[in-house]
Amino acid sequence: MTPNELGRRPLLALSLITLLLVAPHFARLDLRISLAFIAIILLRLTTLYLPRLHPGRWLLLGITLAGAALIFTLYPLLMGLPAKVALLALMLGLKLMECRRRRDLYVVVFLGYFTLSTHFLFDQGMLLVAYVCVLVIGLSGLLIEASRATSRPGWPLHSLRFAAGLTAQALPIMLVLFFLFPRIEGPLWNLGVDNSIGKTGLSDSITLGSISQLIRSRAVAFRVDFDQTIPPPRLRYWRGPVLWHSDGRRWSRGRLMEPGPVTYRSDADPVGYQVTLEPSPNDWLYALDLPETLPVGATLSADYQISAKNVRNRRYRYVASSRLAYHTGALSERQRRLGLQLPDTITPRMRALVAGWRAGTGGDAQLVSRALQFFRSEPFYYTLNPPLLGTNPVDQFLFDSRRGFCEHYATSFTLLMRLAGIPARVVTGYQGGQRNPLGNYLIVRQSDAHAWSEVWLAESGWTRIDPTAAVAPERIERSFEFDLDENADPGVPVIFASADSDLLRGMMQQFRLGLDAANASWHRWILGYSRQQQQSLLQLLGFGSLSEFKLALAMVLATAALLPLLLLLLRRRDRIRPDPVQGDYVKFCHRLARRGLVRQPHEGPRDFARRVIRQRPDLQRQVSAIVNLYIALRYGPSDDPQQRRRLHQLVRGFRA
C-alpha cells in the first residue's frame, strides 16, 4: 500500500460517518432514494473486508447511471429541496465508493460538511444542532488523521480530541459573531418548508375529514407565554380563519372581509400573551377570542381574524392581548347576508327539523339551546373514523350516520342555524393546549385543531357555540389501539395516547415536556434572537442603540481583540512542560557544578559520569546509580513511574 492509499480503518470510519450524515434526511426523501443510499453504504462496507467484490470502473459507471435515472424518475425537473438533497446524497455515496486515496477522502469530507449544512434548510432544532456538532468533530478528526504523514497509535481518539479542541477554540469567536452580527428581519432567502398537512396546520377551508387528519399529528402549532395566569381550558379558543361560504360539502372564507375599525364592548380584564408560531405557509395569526391589541404590522378584519405580512414559512413571535368576555354589537347588512347564505343541498327533512324547533321556541337563544339538546339527546357519536358520506354530507350526518368529528358538528349546526334565520358562521382554530410546568407556558399542537360555530344573537352579538361539547361523553368512540383521556372536557378535541402503564406514561410525559421546554428556550433566545433583542442586549451592556455599520465595526474590532488573547492562552497551554526525568538530571548536574565538576556541552551522561568518577572515586556508587537510571528512563523503551520516583529520591539525597 502506497503512502497515499487509505487503510481499512479510516475507510470504515468514513463510511459510518457518511451514513450518519444523510440519516436525518431519510424522513423527507423518497423511500427508494434512502434504500439506494443505504445499499451503496453496505456495498462499500462489504468491499472493505472482501476487496474482490469492489465494483470495477464500468460497473461503477452503471451504478452511477442507475442512480441518475432514479433521481430523474422521481424528480423529473429537480424542483424542490428534497430533489436536490436526494441528488447530493447519491453523489456522496457514489464518491465514497471510489474513495481509495487521501485526495478522495478530502473530497468526501468536504462534501460531508456541505451535506450537514443542508439539514438546517429543514430544521434548526437544538437536538439537530448538537447532532451536527458531533459529526463536524468526526469529519474534522478524519481530516486531521488523513493529513498526518504516518498514522499514530490510538487514532481515532487522539484525532477526535484534537478536532474537539479546535472546535472549542472557535467558540469565543462564534459567540462574538452571533451576538454582534447585524440582524436582518426575515430570512436571507426563502427556500420553502415541508408542506405536509401535519406541519402546515389549518387551511382556509374545510372539507369533512380535514381536521380529523390534523388531530393525528402531535407536531407543535405554536407556544404561548402568558403575562399572568393561564386561562382555563374552556376559554382557550384560539381564533383562526372564519368561514362564511358553503356549497354543501366545502366551507371557505369566500370574499374576504376588509380590514377596518372593529369595535366591541367588554368589561373583562385583558389577557396579555406572547405567541411563538411554528413555520407554516399561512398568513394569519392566532389569538384568543376576542383579540384586542394586535402584533406590529398585523391587521384585523371585521370578523376578528388577524392577518400579517412576511410571516409565511418562518417561525414568528408576536405579542397580543384579548378579552375573553365580550359583546360584538350590531350586525352589518353585509354580514347578515353572508351569515344566512345557504347551499343548494338543503333537504326537506332538514327544513322540517328546524321548523319544529322554531314552532316550539320563543326566541333565537331558545332555538340555539334546542339545537344543542338535539345533539345531546339523539345518538350522535364523536369519532375520528366517521363513515364516508355521499353528495349531501350534512343531511346524511344529521339523520343517518350521526358519527363525526368537530367539523361535522360545527358545519351542520351552522347550516341549521341559517335555516332558522339566525346568522351563523364557522370558525376554525385550536382549542385547549397543554401547560408545560417546566417553563410555565402553553403548548398548542396540531392535535388541538378544532372547529366551532358562531351565531349572532341580539342580546350578545356574535356568540361562540361549540356543538361538539353537546355530545354526551359516553358516546365518544374509542379506538381499540388507543386510550382516551377521561379528564378531557366535553367539546375539547380528543387526545389519544398509547395505552402504556401510568408510570411509563408519566416518565415519557416528563421527558417530552423537558425536551419541549429546552427547545422553546432554544427557539426564543437563539433562533429568535432578533434585532430588538440585540439592541436590548447592547443597551444592557451600556452601548445603547447601534446602527448596522457600527455593529459590523464592533464585530470586527471585538474579533480582532479576541484573537491575540486566544493565541496567548493557547501558547501558555501548549508551552512545553519540562520532563521531570530531565529536570532531576539537570538538578544533579547543578549540584556537581557547585563542587567544580561542570558538565561540558559535548558530554553525554555516560561520558560525564566517567569523568566525575575519575576525579571523585568516592562518588562512584551514587553517580553510577543516578546516571544509569536516568539513561534507562530517558532513552529506554518504558517509562516506569516507580523508577521515576526512585530517580527523584536519589537526586534529592545526593550530596557531593
pLDDT band at 548 (very low <50, low <70, confident <90, very high): confident
Strand partners of residue 237: 431
Name every residue whose Cβ is closer than 8 Å to that of residue 590 and which is 6 or more positions away in sequence: none
Q: Confirm whether 327 is a catalytic residue.
A: no
Kindly list the distances between the CA atom of residue 396 and the CA atoms of 207, 248, 349, 386, 387, in Å, as whole numbers in the listed order. 15, 12, 11, 12, 10
Beta strands 291-293; 250-252: pairing state: unpaired
* Ordered strands of the 291-293 beta sheet: 291-293, 316-322, 271-277, 220-226, 441-445, 434-436
Which pairs with CB-CB distance under 8 Å and at least 24 residues apart come from 65-73? 67/36, 67/94, 70/32, 70/33, 70/36, 71/33
Q: How far is it, in rounded angstroms, from Cα 550 to Cα 359?
A: 75
Above pLDDT 70, what percent of the chain? 87
- pTM, two decimals, is 0.68
Instruction: Give the pLDDT score at 444.
Output: 93
d(CA 294, CA 454): 22
pLDDT tens figures, 260-275? 667 788 888 999 999 9
- Ramachandran class of 500: left when φ > 0, alpha when ψ lies in -120 to 50, beta otherwise: beta
Residue 127's contacts (CB-CB under 8 Å, 6 or more residues apart) are 515, 519
**For residue 215, is pLDDT > 70?**
no
**Helical residues (DSSP H) of 455-601, grouped into ranges:** 502-522, 531-540, 548-574, 580-593
> Please, is 600 exposed, middle or buried when counting C-beta atoms within 10 Å of its C-beta (0-12, 13-18, 19+)?
exposed
Cell numbers found for residue 128: 439537530
Is there a contact between 38 and 18 (Cβ–Cβ < 8 Å)? no
Q: What percent of the chain has pLDDT over 90?
A: 31
**Residue of 450, 516, 523, 584 with catalytic role:** 450
What are the distances in angstroms from CA 26 to CA 34, 303, 640? 6, 43, 52
Residue 143 in contact with residue 160, Cβ under 8 Å? no
Residue 286 — very low, low, confident or very high, per pLDDT cuts 50/70/90?
very high
Listed in sequence order, the DSSP H helices in 239-359 are: 333-339, 348-359
pLDDT digits over 561-616, tens only? 888 887 777 666 555 566 788 888 999 999 899 888 899 988 999 999 999 999 99
User: Taking Cα atoms as reference points, which of 261, 319, 316, 272 lies closest to residue 527?
Assistant: 316
Does the structure show a pLDDT above 70 at 631?
yes
Convert the pLDDT of each residue in 242-255 to its tens digit: 999 998 888 998 76
Task: Report residue 535 as a C-alpha cell.
Answer: 439592541
Which secondary structure element, helix H or strand E, spans residue 441, and what is its range? strand 441-445
Question: What value does the mean pLDDT of the chain take?
Answer: 83
Asked if 406 is an active-site residue, the reply is yes
C-alpha to C-alpha distance for 436 and 225, rounded to whole angstroms: 10
Please confirm, yes or no, whether 25 is among the known catalytic residues.
Answer: no
For 142-189, write each residue's pLDDT tens digit: 888 888 766 655 567 778 888 888 888 888 888 888 888 877 655 444
Region 317-339: what's the mean pLDDT? Answer: 90
* Listed range (212-216, 227-231, 580-584) with the worst mean pLDDT: 212-216
Q: Domain limits of the chain?
A: 8-147, 197-497, 580-653
CA distance 103 to 421: 79
Residues 36, 191: Cα–Cα separation, whole Å: 26
Position 542 scores a pLDDT of 75
With cell 465494483, the residue in question is 55
Which of 466, 516, 523, 584 does the annotation list as catalytic? 466
Which positions ≥6 away from 580 have C-beta within 8 Å? 644, 648
Lowest mean pLDDT among 38-47, 399-408, 435-444, 634-643: 634-643
Q: Is 434 in contact with 447 (CB distance < 8 Å)? A: no
pLDDT in tens, 466-509: 998 887 566 555 443 333 343 444 334 444 344 445 677 778 87
Indicate the range of 43-47, 144-148, 206-210, 492-496 predicted with least confidence: 492-496
Catalytic residue, candidates 406, 408, 516, 523: 406
